[in-house]
Each structure stands twice: as C-alpha cells, then as structure tokens.
Structure 1
Amino acid sequence: MLSPIPADRASPDLGSLSQVWRAGELGSASLQTVGTGYAGLDQVLPGGGWPQGALIELLQPQAGVHEWGLVAPALAALQAEAPGGLTVLVGAPWLPFGPALGARRLNMQRLLSVYGKPGDAPSLLWATREALQCADVHCVLAWLPDARSAHLRRLQIAAHSHNKLLFVFRPPRAQQESSPAPLRLLAEGTVNEAGNLLVHVLKRRGPPLAAPLLLDTRPARLAALLAASRERARRQREEAGIPLLLPSLVSLPLSSPRSPIHALLDRIAHLDHH
C-alpha cells in the first residue's frame, strides 16, 4: 500500500527552484566574487567578478608578461579592504618589480613570494595548499606549469574550504587537458590602440563566449602617455602635410632608393625620432 505524500513535500519550493542554475544562463546565484577592475570582463563572468573560494586557471604563452595587468586591480582592492592581508606568490618566474606593481596600487610589503627548485612541482603544490590554509592570506597566485588535473582538484577543494582567491598560471598546452577549475581563461598579448590583452573565456558557469575580450591592462599613467604620444605624432604628420592613407603610393615599386615612397618613409621616421 502506498503511503500518502506529506503536504509539505507535495509541491516544490518555488524559492529553491529560483536558485537552480540552468546551463544556458550565466551562473551568479549565491556566488561570492571580487571585481576584476574591468567592466567588460565583469559582465561575462558569473557573479560579476573573480570567484572567491574557487580555482581560477589562467593559460598564457609566456609566464610573467600579462598576468599582473589582469589580476592587479582585484589584488589592490583586496589590500584596500583588508590592509593586513597577504598575497602569496608561489613559483613566480621572475622577481616582482616593485615600482611597476606600485604603479598598479599594490603594496609590496604585503606580498610574500615562495620559490622552489626548478622542476620541483611537488614542493610548489605543497606550498600552494599551505598558503591557502593560512588565515592571514587572502589570495594565492601560483605558477604551476606541470600540474595535473588531480593536483588542481586538491587545490580547488582547498580554495573552496578556506574561501580564498586562487589563480593558477599554466601554459596554453594545458588547454587540451581536463581541469576542475570552474573558470578557465586564455590570455594573449596584442598590439591595439584600444587594448593590449585578448582574453578568451574557455570555461565558465554559463554558455560559451563566442569572441574574446580586448582589455587595456596598462597602468593609467602609461595609457595616458601612449595616447598623448600618438596624438602628438598625428599632429606632426598633419603639419608636415603627410596624409594618413596613401593609396596612390602603395603600389609603387620599392626597388629604387629614389622612389617617392622611400622619401615619405624617411620623413615619417624623422618625425617619430623627434
């Protein structure tokens, strides 16, 4: 004989259903995040920022080139909110350059760097887990090129257990490997007036992102100087009567040193030099 269903279980709780994540939507419910400092990136990340208590995996062709520009705004915000907290660097490929990080509003006195022997992946993994368990640490940055999926799973569990912000940097070849990271990005440098970093969102709690994001991660003063330099060069070319587009000269042969386009290129080089 079938037992009657209790009244409190006869119908689903509509409040709990509102917390259910659907694969076609961008996950955000009950997710604690730290703003990235880039409005465009926040818009495409679940919860509107870097997930706290989770592994964030960042793939990049060359370690030590672009990661600071990407993570520095969030680290500076954490330091401002909790000045006594520490940021731990594990296996950083280069010694952090104080003036450059200071320009990004980072307090170098609150950075702790841990180095290991080259190729000693177990020691770096151990140091990363230990740092995540420290109460005074609010963020860990780990360069772990040789980490495997099982290693990353342990780090994901540790970050979740202690609610820490964790970035793990690996080479692009790791893209072919499985990863427990709920957020996975690929960063590539680019030369563009609008930005210097292309960020591909490889994995997130939500639908795939069709196109990469173009971010300008350069410090504000440097970006202003570059913009002023471009504007000064543009005015100099206009005063010298050099048009920006020269379709009539593009097809001219370059074999002769007396070619008009050679003279034009010499004039442009002279202006840039000064």
Structure 2
Amino acid sequence: MPSPRLPEASFPLHLPHVWSGSEMGAQEGICAPSTHACLDAQLPGNGWPVGGVVEVLQAQPEDHVWRLLLPALGQAVQAHAGPVVLINAPREPFGPGLKAHGLPAERLLSIHADKPSARVWATEQALRCADVAAVLAWLPQVKSAELRRLHLASHQQERMFFVFRPLHVQADASPARLRVMVEGHEALKVHILKRRGPPLASPVLLAAQTGRLAELLQARKGRAAPPQAALPVKPITPTPSLAHLATAAIKGPAPGQQKIKEESNVERIASALDRIALPG
C-alpha cells in the first residue's frame, strides 16, 4: 500500500541552508561590504561572507586584488585589535596604498613557509588565534580536504578568510561559500563562479582605481625596492593569543608535522609581530 501523500501546505516554504537555484539565497552570519555597489548587489548578504573561506582565483598573483579587499579589511581592523595575517604573500603590499584605504601597514603580520603542508598548518593556526582580524593565504597547492578543514576553522571562529589559488583549479570541487575569478589590471572583471544563488553569466566590471590610489601605485612602479626602514611605531606587548601564534610560527608544528620555516625566519616573524599596533 503506497504511503499517504502529505499536502503541499505541510512543507515549510523556507528552510535554513536551502535555497532555490533560480533565486539569491540568504547569506547567514556577518557580511562585510566590498563598497563596490555593483559587486555587492551580486553577493548574497551584499558583501564578503565572514566565517568561511572566500576563494579568489587568478592567472597569477597580482597587486590589484587588494582593491577588492581593502575596504572590508579596513573594517576588520577597526573591529578587532589584532592583525591581518598574510600567509605566503607573493610580495609585500605597498604601505601608503593600504593606509589610504584604512589599513595601516603596521597592522599586517606576514608569515612565510616553504612547503605547502607548512603553509596550510600556519593558516589554520592563524584562523584559530582569537586576536586575528582576518587571514589572507596564498595556497596554490592546497588539497580539497585541507581547504575544507580551513573552511571549518574559519566558520567556527567567525573569521574573515580569503584564499588565493590559480585558475586551473576552477573545475575542482570547493567548500568555499563564495568563489570568484579576477581578471584585468586597471579595470577589473570579477567572475562570480559560485554563490548561494543562480549563476552569473557576465562578469562584474569595476572601474579603474581612484586618482589618488593610481598615483600611489604609479609611484611604487617608478621607484626601486630598497629595504624598508622600520616603521615608527611604539613597541607593544603582544596578547597571549598573538604570542602563541608567533611562537608556533617560529617553532613549527608538533613532532611528526612539517616545520614551518628554518632558523632564518625567526627574526622576520618576531619583527613582524613587534610591528602590530594595538590600541592602548
């Protein structure tokens, strides 16, 4: 005997974590506006999701991606006392350009690791550090299982988290709540590859940077890259969480795991930690 069919009215119209493929899904949790109105209009929650991985695909690492993220990162450092942690950034960001968008260079903590497993390990430690405002990680060789673990860590800590990967992983499965591909140099094309909603056939076009930022970037191109002088910031005593992060980054994983870096990196990480400016 067939089971009785329930009336359609008995089914809830809206379920958490479920959305129609033809409609924009509701974004759970906090979202940080990108301040690009045409981009925010296409993102569930009208901004970058906080608490889960946001995946950014590029043909090669480029500085212009900072234009997408700086407004949200500026908000993050205002809301949190700790730093924005950069894992294996391809080059040091241009300080005046960051400051022009509300992100002082002294609020950055840069950590480098030679081996892919060490980069993943350092990223997870940063995500679980209570004092960290946001994490940006360049992980071209991250595995699917590792990316899922990082996604869960970001979700549990409600941490802003961006991962940068090459274009050839576009067809791979990803746990990312939002996945975009960025093209261009002056004007940007942002292809939204994955979101809680219908596919977006055309990329979002973002105009070239403002005149002031363009001047700063042009000044950077026209000058050599001498060693940067120490920033005139008052030394601070790091909080226990940040001290643990720096110590972990210097010492590396527990026995049986891959060390994050050799002795040559100790002074670099310790110096970066000393540059973090926390409000007194």
Question: Shared fold by TM > 0.5?
Answer: yes
Give 2:70's match in structure 1, choosing from 72, 76, 91: 72
Percent of matched pairs sharing the same residue: 46
Paired residue for 2:180?
185
**What is the CA–CA distance in structure 2 between the aligned matches of 1:87 and 1:196, rounded to whole Å?**
26
Paired residue for 2:125?
130
Paired residue for 1:198?
189
Q: Which has the larger radius of gyration?
A: 1
Q: Over residues 141-188 of structure 1, what are the superposed CA-to-partner deviations in whole Å (9 max), with x where a residue is unaligned?
A: 000011121111111111111111110001111112111112110000
**What is the CA–CA distance in structure 1 between the aligned matches of 2:16 and 2:166, rounded to whole Å?**
38
Q: Over residues 105-136 of structure 1, what are the superposed CA-to-partner deviations in whole Å (9 max), with x where a residue is unaligned?
A: 2111111110112xx00010000000000111
How many angstroms does 1:65 deviate by? 2.5
Paired residue for 1:7?
none
**What is the CA–CA distance in structure 1 between the aligned matches of 2:60 and 2:18, rounded to whole Å?**
39
Matched residue type, 1:144? L
Matched residue type, 2:83? L
**What is the CA–CA distance in structure 1 between the aligned matches of 2:140 and 2:169, rounded to whole Å?**
8
Give 1:24's match in structure 2, choosing from 22, 25, 38: 22
TM-score (norm 2): 0.69
Question: Which structure: greater helix fraction?
Answer: 1
CA contact (8 A) 2:53 2:176 kept: yes
How many angstroms does 1:41 deviate by? 0.8
**What is the CA–CA distance in structure 1 between the aligned matches of 2:215 and 2:107, rounded to whole Å?**
28
Q: Cα RMSD between the aligned structures?
A: 2.5
Query: How does 1:32-111 map onto structure 2 within 5 Å?
Result: 32-82=30-80, 84-111=81-108
Q: Secondary structure at the match of 1:135?
A: coil
**What is the CA–CA distance in structure 2 between the aligned matches of 1:95 and 1:216, rounded to whole Å?**
24
Q: Aligned pairs, how many?
A: 210
**What is the CA–CA distance in structure 1 between the aligned matches of 2:156 and 2:17, rounded to whole Å?**
21
For structure 2, the residue ranges without an aligned partner over 5 or more in a row are 1-8, 217-280
Give 2:199's match in structure 1, choosing from 170, 192, 208: 208
**What is the CA–CA distance in structure 2 between the aligned matches of 1:161 and 1:19, rounded to whole Å?**
16
Shift in alpha-carbon separation, 1:32–1:170, aligned structure 2, 3 A:
same
**What is the CA–CA distance in structure 1 between the aligned matches of 2:15 and 2:166, rounded to whole Å?**
39
Q: Secondary structure at the match of 2:103?
A: coil
Matched residue type, 1:40? C
Which is bigger in relative contact order (C-alpha 8 A, separation at least 6)?
2
Shift in alpha-carbon separation, 1:17–1:38, aligned structure 2, 3 A:
same
Q: Secondary structure at the match of 2:23?
A: coil
**What is the CA–CA distance in structure 2 between the aligned matches of 1:97 and 1:138, rounded to whole Å?**
19
Matched residue type, 1:153? R
Q: Secondary structure at the match of 1:205?
A: coil
